[in-house]
Homo-oligomer: A and B are copies of this chain.
Amino acid sequence: MKGIAVKIGQKGAFLTEVMPPDKPVNEQVLLKTLYTGICGTDRGIINGLLNFARPEADKDLLVLGHEGLAQVMDTGEKVKSLKPGDLVVPIVRRPGKCIQCKIGRQDNCEDGDFVEAGIRGKDGFMREYFIDEEEYLVKVKDKNLGKLAVLTEPLKNLVKAYEVYQTVSNRSVKTCSDGSYWCKKVTIIGAGPIGILFSMLFITHGFQVTLISRSDKEGVASNICKRIGADFIQEDAIKIDVKSLISDIFVDTTGRPEIVGKGLQALKYNGVEILFGTTLAGNINITGEMLTEAVEKNITVFGTVDGAKQHYVEALNYLSMWKEIYGNLLEEIITDEDVPEKSVEALNGDGKGEIKRIIRWS
C-alpha cells in the first residue's frame, strides 16, 4: 500500500510502498486514512531543518503525517467506544513516563521522552491504512464536518493556548466590567491557518480581534475576517507603529523575534503575549526599558506547544460551531487538495500560495 515517507538525513519526501497493517487485536483499531494535512513541520522535516525528526526504532524510513482524519475499518476485541464506519482524528504525541505524561498531559512532557506520529519515533498518517490504539483516537461526532475535521490537529494547539491564556490571566480580573470580554483587544500576527484559526477562536469568545499579515494569500484572511467581524490589516507588523498595536493580548504565529519584541511593547497593563511561532530565524534587541515596562505592567508572556486529548475534543466542537455559524467559510482555508501521487511534489515545494494543503487518501 502507498505511503509518503522521508529518509532522515536526506532531503525530500517520496511516495513509497509501506507495509500494510495486520488485523487489529485487543485495543487496536484498523484505520483507513481519509485526509492528511500538511504543515510547516512536515516541510521542516523534509528539508532536514528539524533535528529531532527520527524514524521508529530500527526503521529506515519515517512515514510523514501528523494531521489526520481516518475511518475505522475494524476493531480489536477490547475496543469499546469505536465501531467500523466511525470517523476519528488520531493523536500526534504519545506519552513517556514523566509526571505530566502520567496524567495524559504529554503536551507538557518535561523530559522530552515522548514520540510523535509522523515527526519523531513513530510513523505518521500519510499512508492508506494504519493501526492505532483506541486511547489515541478522538471520535468525530459531527460527520458533516467532512474534510474540515482534518483541521482538528492544528486547532487543538490553539485550544490549549486559549486554556493557558485563561489560566495565567487568573492573576488579575480578566473580564471587562460587564463580565464579558468585549473590551479586550487581541492582535494576531500571521495569516496562515494558525493566525486565521486564532482569530476565529478569540472572536468566538467575544474579544475584539485584529489580524495582521504581510500577505493575504488569495484574499482568504481578509475575507474570513470580514465575515467573522475581525479587522484585517495587510502590512508587515514590524512597520506598524507600536501605538497602533496596543492590545490586551498579542499572539505571534510567525516566530519572528522582531514581531515578538514589538508585541511586548504593545501590551496594556496585565497584558499577555502568546508565543506560538517557531521560525528559528531572526533576532530582536530587548532593552532594559522594555523589561521595566513588563514589570511595571504585570505582563505575562508564554510559549505553548501541542495539546492534550481534551483539546482535540474541544477543537472538534469549535469546528462544528463555526460550520453552523459561518457555513462553508472554513473551507476557504483549505486552498489545495490532491491525491497522494500529486501531493508529493507540493510537499517538496515551499508551500507558497497555499494556506492549508491537504492530501485525499481515498
- Chain A interface residues toward B at CB < 8 A: 81, 99-100, 102-112, 135, 138, 141-142, 144, 163-164, 167-168, 170-173, 175-182, 204-206, 229, 255-257, 260-261, 268-270, 275-305, 308-310, 313-314, 317-318, 320-321, 323-325
- Identify which of B276, B285, B298 contacts A295 (C-beta below 8 A): B276
* A46–chain B nearest beta-carbon distance, Å: 18
Q: Is the CB of A278 within 8 A of B292?
A: yes
Q: Which residues of chain B are within 8 angstroms of A294 by Cβ–Cβ distance?
A: 275, 301-303
Query: How far does the alpha carbon of A167 sit from the alpha carbon of B106 in the complex, in Å?
Result: 21
Q: Is the CB of B310 within 8 A of A102?
A: no
* A274–chain B nearest beta-carbon distance, Å: 10
How many copies of this kind of chain does the complex include? 4
Q: Which residues of chain B are within 8 angstroms of A179 by Cβ–Cβ distance?
A: 103-107, 308-310
Q: Which residues of chain B are within 8 angstroms of A103 by Cβ–Cβ distance?
A: 99, 102-103, 173, 175, 177, 179
Query: How far does the alpha carbon of A171 sit from the alpha carbon of B170 in the complex, in Å?
Result: 11
Given A172-B105, A180-B309, A302-B299, do A112 and B291 touch, yes or no (CB 8 Å)? no
Where chain A touches its partner, the secondary structure class is mixed
The contact sample of 30 A-B pairs, CB cut-off 8 A, is A99-B103, A99-B177, A103-B175, A103-B179, A104-B176, A104-B178, A104-B180, A107-B179, A108-B172, A110-B172, A144-B324, A164-B171, A167-B168, A168-B168, A180-B308, A181-B313, A204-B317, A206-B313, A257-B286, A275-B294, A277-B291, A280-B288, A280-B289, A280-B292, A284-B286, A295-B303, A295-B305, A297-B305, A298-B302, A318-B321
Q: Is the CB of A295 within 8 A of B300?
A: no
Given contacts A206-B310, A298-B304, A317-B321, 4 further A-B contacts (CB under 8 A): A103-B179, A104-B177, A170-B170, A295-B305
